[in-house]
Structure formats: C-alpha cells, structure tokens
C-alpha cells in the first residue's frame, strides 16, 4: 500500500478532497481511475487514505506524464463528475520529489 | 481540514506510514506533534488521513524549515519512538510544490 518509488527526482500529485454525502457511483469510479492511472505512461505508484478528508498521492516520472493523465479522456469524464457531484472541495498540488527516505521494521534504521 | 496554502512554490513533506497494532501512546503523541509543528517557523499547513495506511502531508515555506523540524528535539524523541514501536514501515518524501489548483462547490470551476 506504500508505493515503492525509484530514486528521486520524480513527481507527485497530492490530491486532497472533501466528499459530498453518499456514494453515487464514486467508489466504483475511484477504483476504475486507479486501474486506469496504473496503465498510463510514466506512472510510478499511488497511495490513498480517507477518513474526514481523503488524500491520494500519485507518483510520476515526469511533468509531461502528469499533464497527459490530467487530459486522459475517461479521466476528464471523472473530473467533471467529481465537480458536479462527488466533491465538496479539493486541492491538487503538483510537486517535484527532491529526496526521500524510508523505514521498515526489519531494518531498524532509516534509509538511505 | 484541507490546508490553505500560499501561491507556489512552497514545500511539502509526504509521510506515508503503516502502523503496528494498538495505540501505545501513538494518538496522543500524534496530536502533540501536529500542535508542535504548527508552532515551527515556516509551517504553512498540514493534512492527514488514515485507513489501511496513513498519509500526512505537511507544508513548509522552505527546505530549511523542513530540516529544522526534522531536528526539533521533541520531534526527534517522537521519531525514535515511531521506529521502536509505532510504525511497521514508513516513507518520507520531500517535495517542491510547483503548481496547484483547487475546487470549491460554491465556485463550480477549478482555480486558478
């Protein structure tokens, strides 16, 4: 569930959202969009969690890959439906990941 | 709950984690760390969600502000306890936010 990404630099899209009430097809579309994103050129990984707000972070090889995904036709349909029905509000931030480090219980120390 | 951040560029720390079982003081320390982060120089905002994994994104004016926060003494204690007890694994990514856009139901369109 934690994305396994290559050495930086790479890119991240942080999508933070507040949902409207009810599902109204949201869950099925969200699953479909994850499956579709995974097939896009330059896709590196995705992480998602939701409680009072939702945060989805997708990782990409380049800004060009992010722009292509933003314009993908089925994704455009989902974005329009999101604004019409599913989201009270959202914030999307496009970032360059400059450095990273990680920890796994088996290793006991941060890497690198 | 969605952070209100200034015009880019600014910086983000994406902290993705898998927790061990049980609370063991984690919830109280997490609340304390958010309160402490909010008092650090250069802090801009924080967003957090957890279901099967947790994602916390904090926003900062500069990389220097992020380095200072990483080295803050009470935060160092929390980081050590996190590795000893609370986290199965985590991934921390330091990013430069290059552009952003947002949506709010009252406006019907993405901004900017």
Query: Taking 80 as the threshold, does the pLDDT of residue B108 lie above it?
Result: no
Are B2 and A53 within 8 A, CB to CB?
Answer: yes
In this prediction, residue B41 carries a pLDDT of 98
Structure tokens at B111: 């901004």
Query: Which of B49, B89, B102 is nearest residue A50 as measured by Cβ atoms?
Result: B49
Are A12 and B87 within 8 A, CB to CB?
Answer: no
Whether B15 contacts chain A with CB within 8 A: no
A91 contacts A13 by C-beta, under 8 angstroms: no
Q: What mean pLDDT value characterizes chain B?
A: 96
Task: Find, in chain B, the residue whose alpha carbon is nearest to that of A111.
Answer: B91
Whether B45 contacts chain A with CB within 8 A: no
The interface predicted TM-score (ipTM) is 0.96
Query: Which of B8, B52, B102 is nearest residue A1 as measured by Cβ atoms?
Result: B52
In this prediction, residue A107 carries a pLDDT of 80
Query: Taking 90 as the threshold, does the pLDDT of residue A111 lie above it?
Result: no
Q: What mean pLDDT value characterizes chain A?
A: 96
Are B49 and A52 within 8 A, CB to CB?
Answer: yes
Q: In terms of C-beta distances under 8 Å and separation of at least 24 residues, what long-range contacts does A70-77 make, across chains too?
A: A72/A36, A72/A40, A74/A32, A74/A33, A74/A36, A75/A33, A75/A36, A75/A37
Helices A63-71 and A73-81, axial angle in degrees (round to 10): 70
A78 contacts B77 by C-beta, under 8 angstroms: no
Task: Find, in chain B, the residue whose alpha carbon is nearest to that of A81.
Answer: B108
Query: How far from each other are the two terminal CA atoms of chain A, in whole angstroms?
Result: 20
**Which letter does DSSP use for residue B111 in this model?**
B
Task: Find, in chain B, the residue whose alpha carbon is nearest to that of A86.
Answer: B105
Query: How far from each other are the two terminal CA atoms of chain B, in whole angstroms?
Result: 20
Task: Find, in chain A, the residue whose alpha carbon is nearest to that of B2.
Answer: A16
For the segment B43-55, the average pLDDT, to the nearest whole number, is 98
Helix (H, G, I), strand (E, B) or coil at B62: coil
- Could you tell me the pLDDT band of residue A90, with boundaries at 50, 70 and 90? very high
| Phi, psi dihedrals of residue B86, rounded to the nearest 5° | -90, -30
CA distance A1 to B98: 26
Q: In terms of C-beta distances under 8 Å and separation of at least 24 residues, what long-range contacts does A34-38 make, across chains too?
A: A36/A72, A36/A74, A36/A75, A37/A69, A37/A75
Tens of pLDDT, residue by residue over A29-78, are 999 999 999 999 999 999 999 999 999 999 999 999 999 999 999 999 99
For the segment B61-89, the average pLDDT, to the nearest whole number, is 97
B54 contacts B94 by C-beta, under 8 angstroms: no
In this prediction, residue A79 carries a pLDDT of 96
């Amino acid at each position: 569930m934690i994305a396994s990404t290559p050495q930086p630099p790479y890119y991240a899209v942080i999508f933070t959202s507040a949902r409207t009430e009810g599902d109204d097809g949201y869950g099925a579309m969200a699953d479909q969009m994850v499956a579709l994103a995974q097939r896009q050129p330059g896709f590196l990984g995705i992480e998602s969690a939701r409680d009072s707000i939702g945060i989805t972070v997708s990782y990409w090889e380049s800004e060009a890959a992010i722009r292509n995904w933003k314009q993908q036709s089925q994704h455009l349909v989902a974005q329009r439906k999101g604004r019409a029905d599913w989201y009270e509000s959202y914030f999307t931030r496009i970032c360059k990941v400059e450095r990273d480090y990680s920890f796994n219980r088996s290793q006991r120390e941060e890497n690198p």
